Structure formats: C-alpha cells, structure tokens
Amino acid sequence: WFDNMAHRAVPVERLTSAPGPGCLTGEKPRGEHINALMDMMPPGTLACLTLMVQPQNVLEEEFKQQGKKSLGDNLDSEMAREQVGEALEWLKQKHKLYRGALTFIIRAPDMSTLDRYQLSLSTTLMNDGLQPVNPEHELTPLNTLLRALPMCFNPEMDTNRWYTWLTFVQHFAGVAPIYGRSTGTGHPGLTFFNRGGELLNFDPIKDRIQSAHKLLFGPTGAGKSATLTVELCQQMAIHRPRLFLVESGNSFGPLADYYSSLGLTVNKVSIKPGKGTCLPVFADAHLLRDISDEALDESQLRDIDDVDDDEEDDDEEKRDILGEMEIAAVLMVTGGDRDEKLSRADRGLLRKALKMAADMAYDENRQMLPEDLKTVLESISTDKSLNDKGSSRWHPKMQSRASEMALALELMTEGFEGELFNREGEAWPEADVTIVDLGYLAREGYESQMALAVISLANTVNHIAERDQHDDRDIVFTIDEAHVVTANPLVSPYFAKISKMWRKLGTWLWLATQNLKDYPDTAEKMLNMAEWWICLTMPPDEIEQIARFRSLTEEQKAMLASARKGEKKNGIPCYTEGVVLARNWNALFRSVPPSLYLALGMTEKDEKAQRRKLMKTHQCSELEAVFMVARNLDERRGVSV
C-alpha cells in the first residue's frame, strides 16, 4: 500500500507474438475506435521496461555451453539442442538478442477493485500477444514490484536468469514507448488536447522558425469559428497583440463585446453606404518619389503574381510599393474579371501613370486618389506632345488604352465606391482590437470592391506596423472566410508580397477558410507563406486540396485522414480533431472549446436566433445572452459550478 492505495505488479512472462512498432503507446484502429494499448488498461497503470544489454559473443558462449550440457537422446535434450542451434543461427545473421523484463504496476483504492483491474489488464495483454505471469505462479510479488522500479534491478544477483527473458532487440523496440502522443512545444499560446487527454500547447509567435503566419482550415461544420475564437482569446491573453479582424456578417460582434468587457479598447468598422468609412488605396504613393526608371520599363516587368521564393531574411529587402499599387489599379481597371487581363504594354502604361499621379499628388501636398490616376490617364489619351526625337510621346494604341482605363476607373470615383476609396484617409482610433465588417461588399457582384477594401485595410495595418516596429507588441491581421476575400488571382500575390515584409514588422497574417477549391494555383505562394497550418477534420477530397498547395508525406496524409469529430452528447459535440502542420513538427490534437468561447463563436442562424430570444426575454445585451448560453452549455456538459 502506498498513499492508502493498493498496488500490484503484473509481470509479463513472454511474448506470444512479435510486437509491432508502438505496441504499447502507438495508436491503432480497433473497430470503430483509434486508440493505443495503454488507453485500454486500467487507470493509473504504469509500464516498466527493463532492458539488459550484453555482448553478443558472451551470449554465444552461453548458448554453446547450454548445447554441450544437453546430452542424451531424450526429447528434452533434443529440443534444447535444436533451440540452441536456432539461436546461434540468428546470431550469425546479425540479429541481436538482449535480456529484459516488462512489468505493469496497477493501483486501486481497495482489493476488490485491484483484482478486477488485474483481470482486465491480463485480458488486454493476452489479446495483444503479451502473456502475463499466472498469479498463482507468482511467488514473490513484492520483490517483483521492487525490481520493476527504475534502476532497482541488479543483473548480477539474477545468476539463474529467473527474472528476465531473452528476445530480439526489434521486439524490445516494439514495446518501447517510442511512439506516443505529442504534447506540443510547451509554450501555451494555443492550448488543445491530445487523444490521451493531455494538454497540447504550442505558440505560433514563440515557436516560429521564420514567421507566425497561419492558415486555419476547416470544412463546414468542423467548428472553425469556435476554434478561431479560442485561438484569438488565448493569444490576446498571452501576448496582448494588436488585433485586426476582417469578417462579414458581424459573426464576431459578441467577441468584440467580450474584449470590451475585459477592458480592451475596441474599434468596430462597418463598410456600408453612409457610414463614412474611408479606405485609401494609394496612401503610400509618396514613397514612389525615389523609384528607379528601371521599375517603369515594361521590358523589365515580371509577372504580376511573381513573388520571390527566397525566404531568407534580407535586411536590404524593401517593399514593392509600385507592384502593390499596380495590383490595386489593375483591380480597378478590370473590375476583378478573371478573363480580362492586361498585356505587358498595358501594365507598363499603368505604372507610368501611377508614377505621374503620385508626383502630382505629392506636389500638391496631399494623398493620391484613384481620381488622380483617372486624370493622368485622360491626359495621356489626349496628349499631343512630342518626345526628344520629334515623334509623338504616346503611341495611338497606348492613348486608346489609356482612355479605356480612365473610363473604367470612373466607376471607382463615384457613388459608394467613391465614398469608400476616393477620399483621403484619416488615422484610425488607437485600439487594441479593430473588427472590420465587410458585410455590404460580401454581396454578389462586389468581388473587386471587396478585394480593394482588403488591400486598403492591409495598407492601413502596414502603416501602423511600420510606425510601431520598434515596440515589442505584435500585430495579428486575421481574415475570416478568407476564400471569399483572398481567392482573387490579384489579391493573393499582393498578400504574398506584403506578408513577406511583415515578418520584420512583427505582423502576422492569419487566414481562416473552409474552402481551398476556390483558390487558384497562383495562391500557392501566399498560402506557403503560412508556416502554421491548422487543419480540422476533413473528408479525403479536402486532403487532396491541401496537397495542391503544400507537399504532404504519406504519414501526414494518414494523420489528416484519421482526424474525426466526436459524437454528440446532450446535443453538443464532444470534440473536433485536427492536425497542426508546422515546419519542424506535426501533431494531431482535439479541440474542446470552453463553453464561453463555444458560445461566442456560434454563427449558425438558429444559434443567433437563440441569443435574440434570450435578449428579448431577459431584456439584456447580446453579450449577457452569450453568458447565459455558456452557462447552459456547462450544465449540459456536466461541468457547471
């Protein structure tokens, strides 16, 4: 008895079958479940493996001596000689034989429970090829327990080899606890569980190799919103980053109220007509003053979605301001139409016009607006001046294209688009959390406006990041439903360019999406900027979608395929499994959000209706209704205080 608990040692007599890798701690499919042998043992079971390494030449001499002692023609002697010959043959083939022992220590509050545990353990071991010693044949059970404890076995006292058995090294490796479940890196930035119920911690900001950019991928119903809510709350608790969250439909409105209730400053920005929101697209135009003529040469232009693959830090690397502005201008000119592409000559013309408009706005001491670009293109279309060689400065085809571009830009200078993009931007209020609702732009037909809005938001975040780059506070720029926002063939190259620079500014791009099918192949460089991929349970076809953008080993594919969603109890899913894919490690985890975060992340229509009903019944705020839902979840989970 130790600490008023009955203990008992159950030694293994022999192996009845060759144990495979991870026999004790490796997970295997067993019917409808996936678990390890240790999971099936009584609670508190302790496995003690003793391994005695000995020179093989000494063992060979022992076998030969044993063979010489086996004289006579009786069956026992013949069998002994055959076994010695077989053992020597294995040694000749370079198979190593070591001695060892495997003992399981169980404990229980009383003897009847202990006996029941021993019977259960013996049955479990026998089913997996491990034969325990019959309790009736165990003569010294107390000594067995003491010998099993670490560093308590003295092989010199076991002269008769009574307490160890001989087996192959690979069989010892099979029962060794080498395979197991990850517990993470130990940094509690994001906290989940493994299948054994242990905490699994990691922190993208602390554990990064190059960046903390992250992609959260979960199909419909996988619990993506609840998982994202948990992650944002934990990161805010640990690091207190400046958070920018881009969403549509006010899904994270309760989360903003929750942040505010804890003393954080929150700025809610809603992009709707009449709200006065301004998102200047060309706010960085003044930085084009020192641009080289080579950048304007159309023969030197790279593809618009071309991003350097070199991920090494380069102190001399600078932002491609002109390239970013060109992407925004192309979006305005083409309206985001994937079928309408600009030629290299068109892009060269657009770059020159951007430089001229930037110079004009700088000379007038103001921000450049889309209207300035339109004015410059109109002037180019009617310019009759001559160059130094006496010929027309602009080719007639270029003037025709400039006129067409100016007409297309006119749509971005009038109405709601003009209110949103064609005004000088103002500094946003200083806030810990800024939540931007793209609700109006999420409608059908506003894809290009949404893409422009997100680019403008990224520019605003970049201004703050550059201003505060010497502070020790990180910035997390999160986009929910990112497949709607960043799947545009022009937006993904933009984020690939700017997120590469954000590493030096402590600014991290977090994308949450439920669909990778909508992403074009050009999005590969943007998605590969994410060092951390968190993939919730998914069907096989979604795994193939991941393989489009990230190289997956067969082991990683098997891990992704094994993730599943727990059955509902009292109407609540027990857990959602997922896989974290990082540069230096992978792990399978179970997400079990606390009831409060689960309630904050409820985005389904019936869940919102439930909150509205509580608000009317109790005459309370939406956040108070969330607290009521969380208390109800606690009661249904059986964890209410």
| Tens of pLDDT, residues 6-43 | 888 888 888 788 787 777 777 777 776 777 777 788 88
| Segment 279-305 mean pLDDT | 68
User: What pLDDT does residue 124 have?
Assistant: 83
- 435: CB partners within 8 A, 6+ apart: 245, 247, 252, 253, 255, 256, 266, 267, 268, 269
| Segment 492-508 mean pLDDT | 85
pLDDT tens digits for range 522-550 = 778 888 888 999 999 888 888 888 888 88
Q: Which of 29, 89, 40 is nearest to 63 (CA)?
A: 89
| Segment 633-637 mean pLDDT | 85
| Segment 116-135 mean pLDDT | 83
Whole-prediction pTM value? 0.79
Q: Would you say 105 and 45 are in contact if contact means Cβ atoms under 8 Å apart? A: yes
Gap between the Cα atoms of 328 and 338, Å rounded: 14
Q: Model confidence at 315, in pLDDT bands (50, 70, 90)?
A: very low
> Is residue 261's pLDDT more than 90?
yes
| Segment 140-153 mean pLDDT | 79
Q: Model confidence at 339, in pLDDT bands (50, 70, 90)?
A: low
Q: Model confidence at 493, in pLDDT bands (50, 70, 90)?
A: confident
User: What pLDDT does residue 478 have?
Assistant: 93
Beta strands, E only, 135-236:
165-168, 190-193, 199-202, 214-217
* Percentage of the residues of the chain whose pLDDT score is greater than 90: 12
| Segment 448-476 mean pLDDT | 86
475: helix, coil or strand?
Answer: strand
CA 222 and chain centroid, separation: 14
User: What pLDDT does residue 441 have?
Assistant: 81
117: helix, coil or strand?
Answer: helix
| Segment 269-291 mean pLDDT | 80
> Is residue 70's pLDDT more than 80?
no
User: What pLDDT does residue 305 have?
Assistant: 52
| Segment 184-199 mean pLDDT | 87
User: What pLDDT does residue 627 have?
Assistant: 92
User: What pLDDT does residue 125 have?
Assistant: 82
> Is residue 115's pLDDT more than 50?
yes
User: What pLDDT does residue 294 have?
Assistant: 58
Give the CATH fold of the 194-279+430-593 domain.
Answer: Rossmann fold (3.40.50)
Which region, left, alpha or beta, applies to residue 365 given φ > 0 means left and ψ of -120 to 50 means alpha? left
Q: Model confidence at 389, in pLDDT bands (50, 70, 90)?
A: confident
User: What pLDDT does residue 219 have?
Assistant: 81
Domain spans, the chain: 6-175, 194-279+430-593, 280-424, 604-636
pLDDT tens digits for range 599-611 = 988 878 888 888 8
Q: Is 605 exposed, middle or buried (0-12, 13-18, 19+ CB in 10 A)?
A: exposed
| Segment 168-174 mean pLDDT | 79
Q: Which of 295, 242, 602 is nearest to 429 (CA)?
A: 242
- Give the pair of three-digit tokens for residue 309: 């693959």
User: What pLDDT does residue 128 have?
Assistant: 79
